[in-house]
Amino acid sequence: MEKVNFAEDAITSFEELRDIIGVPHELVIKKTISMMEDQCKNFISNSPLLFLSTS
């Protein structure tokens, strides 16, 4: 297994990241909600880990 040199292989700009993963689909960009419904609350309450992002 090859060792990873994080200092040399780090992604340091938005452009580098876009070159690697591309541009997200329009549906992904627009995938937001203003409030959580019962289905969302139930799903989160049963999940062992949650990542929340706000802007």
**pLDDT tens, residue by residue, 15-24:** 999 999 999 9
Which amino acid is residue 4, in one-letter code? V
What span, in angstroms and rounded, lies between the C-alpha atoms of 52 and 40?
13
What span, in angstroms and rounded, lies between the C-alpha atoms of 15 and 22?
10
**pLDDT tens, residue by residue, 1-54:** 888 888 888 899 999 999 999 999 999 888 888 888 999 899 889 999 888 887
Residue 22 pLDDT: 94
Residue 17 pLDDT: 92
Domain range list for the chain = 25-50
